[in-house]
Amino acid sequence: MTEAADVGVADPPVADWFDPHAMMRDPYPTYERLRALGPVVHVPRIGRYLLTTHAAVTAAEQHPESFSSYSETNLTMMRAIGGRPMLRKDDPDHGVERGAINPTLRPRQVTDMWSPAFAKNVETWLDHLEQVGPDDADLNRDFAAPVASKNLIDILGFPEDTDVRSMQRWSTDFIAGTGNILDDPEIWARCEVSQAQVDAVLEDLLPALRRRPDASITSHLLEVGLPDPVVRANVLLTISGGMNEPQHMISNIVWALDAHPDQLASVRSGDVDWGAVFEEAVRWVSPIGMLPRETVEEIEWFGARIPARANVGLLLACANRDESVFADADRFDVNRNARGHLGFGNGVHMCAGRWAAKAAVGELALPRLFERFPKLRVDQERETTWDGWVFRGITALPVTW
C-alpha cells in the first residue's frame, strides 16, 4: 500500500504483554500503550494485528478490497447468531442486504415513523424507574436496557407482546458470543438457547410479514426477496447491535455527565445540545471497541507488514482517543467537535442504525430522563460496574434522586 511505501516496511512491533483480562476491566491504559507502539501492532495472545490510530483504522475501512469483512477463520459472530449477516460480507453481497434496510433507517423515516414509538417507550420506562424508587434504582436495568429493547422490538417489527427482558437477553448473548475470542463454552450454550427462542418468533413472524408487509427492518429484508436464512442472519445481527449499544450509551452518558457536573449544567441550560453530548460520548467511551477484518493478501500498512489472511482488529475505541485528531483526547468534553469519530465505524459498513440511535438516546431518552428527574445522580453508596472491551459498557448504574 502506498501509505507505507515512503516510510520503509518492517514487521510490526509485538505486544506480548497484552492481557485480555485487564482489557475487560479497563482497556484504555492498554490502548495508550498500543498507540505508543505504532499504527500496527501484532498481538499473538489474541491472534490479531491491531490497528491503533485514527488514520490507520479509517484507511482500512476505506479499503475493503484489502481488509475484507468476509473471513473463514474469524467466525465468532457467525457462531453466535448461526448465520452470516451483512456485517461479515463484502460488496456486492453486502450491498444488497444493506440496501434492503437503509430505507427504514434514514433520518426522515426515523423522525416520522420511529421517534413517536421511541418517545412512548421512554415514558413507559420512566414510570417504571420512578416506581422502583431512589433507593433501589439501577438506571441500566430499570431504564436504559428496557427502553433500548422495546425500541428494537418496534423497529424489527417483532410482536407487541415480545418480552423486553427476552430481547435484552438475546442481544447480550449474541454480543457475548461475537466477542467470545477466548472460546468460553458457557457463552456458546447461551447463544444456542437464544437463537432457538428468536427462531420460534420468526417462524410465525416471517409468513405474517409476507402477507402484510410493514415499515420494519424484518419486513424490508423480506421485501427485496432475500432467502429466509439471510433475513434471519440480519435480524439476529440487528438484535445484537441494536439494543446493546444504545443501552450502553444511555447509561454511559448519565455516568459521564454525573462525573462532569459543569458539563451537565451546560447541557441543562441549553448551551450545548444533546446531539453533541451523544457524539462526544460515543467517541470517548465507544461501545464497540474493535471491528474484525481479514487481509486479502500480504500488505504493507503504515510502514508495517501484515501477512495474507491475517485477522486484523480495527480498534475504534483506541483510534477515538488519538491525540493527533482529538486534542486532549482522554478528556470528556461536550464542547469539542467530535465529528470524525469512529464509534459508528466508517466506510460501507458504517452503522445502519446511527440516526435511530441518536434520536432514541440523544433526542428522547436523555432529555426526558433529566426533565423528569432533575436531581438524578449516580448513587455512590452502591457500586457501578463496567464490562468488556470488544463490546464495552456499564452493566450496573445505581442512581438516586
Name the residues that contact ligand HEM, by CB under 6 A: 61, 86-87, 98, 155, 237-238, 241-242, 245-246, 249, 282, 287-288, 291, 316, 343-347, 349-353, 356-357
Helix (H, G, I), strand (E, B) or coil at 309: coil
For 313, other C-beta atoms within 10 Å of its C-beta total 24
For 111, other C-beta atoms within 10 Å of its C-beta total 13
Identify whether the C-beta of residue 378 lies closer than 8 Å to the C-beta of residue 257. no
Nearer to ligand HEM, 169 or 303 (CB): 169
Question: Which residues, other chains included, contact 29 with Cβ-Cβ below 8 Å and sequence gap of 6+?
Answer: 22
Give the DSSP H/E element, type plus range, for residue 299.
strand 299-301
Nearer to ligand HEM, 156 or 399 (CB): 156
Looking up cell 446511527, which residue turns up?
Answer: 354
CB of 72 vs ligand HEM, minimal distance in Å:
18
Query: By 3-state DSSP, what share of the chain in percent is helix, strand and coil, each rounded to 5?
Result: 55, 10, 35
Nearer to ligand HEM, 284 or 373 (CB): 284
What's the one-letter identity of residue 276?
Answer: A
Nearer to ligand HEM, 155 or 181 (CB): 155
C-alpha cell at 364: 428522547
CB of 351 vs ligand HEM, minimal distance in Å:
3
Nearer to ligand HEM, 255 or 344 (CB): 344
CB of 291 vs ligand HEM, minimal distance in Å:
5
CB of 286 vs ligand HEM, minimal distance in Å:
7
For 131, other C-beta atoms within 10 Å of its C-beta total 9
CB of 97 vs ligand HEM, minimal distance in Å:
8
CB of 5 vs ligand HEM, minimal distance in Å:
25
Give the DSSP H/E element, type plus range, for residue 394.
strand 393-396
Nearer to ligand HEM, 194 or 238 (CB): 238
Look at strands 377-378 and 67-68 and give their pairing: unpaired
CB of 168 vs ligand HEM, minimal distance in Å:
14
Q: Quote the strand ranges of 44-147, DSSP E.
A: 48-51, 67-68
Nearer to ligand HEM, 52 or 346 (CB): 346
CB of 8 vs ligand HEM, minimal distance in Å:
29
CB of 102 vs ligand HEM, minimal distance in Å:
9
d(CA 323, CA 326): 5
Nearer to ligand HEM, 157 or 242 (CB): 242
Helix (H, G, I), strand (E, B) or coil at 40: strand
Look at strands 385-387 and 67-68 and give their pairing: unpaired
Classify residue 319 by burial, with Cβ atoms within 10 Å: 0-12, 13-18, 19+.
buried
Helix (H, G, I), strand (E, B) or coil at 66: coil
314: left (phi over 0), alpha (psi -120 to 50) or beta: beta
d(CA 68, CA 312): 10
CB of 106 vs ligand HEM, minimal distance in Å:
12
Nearer to ligand HEM, 153 or 310 (CB): 153
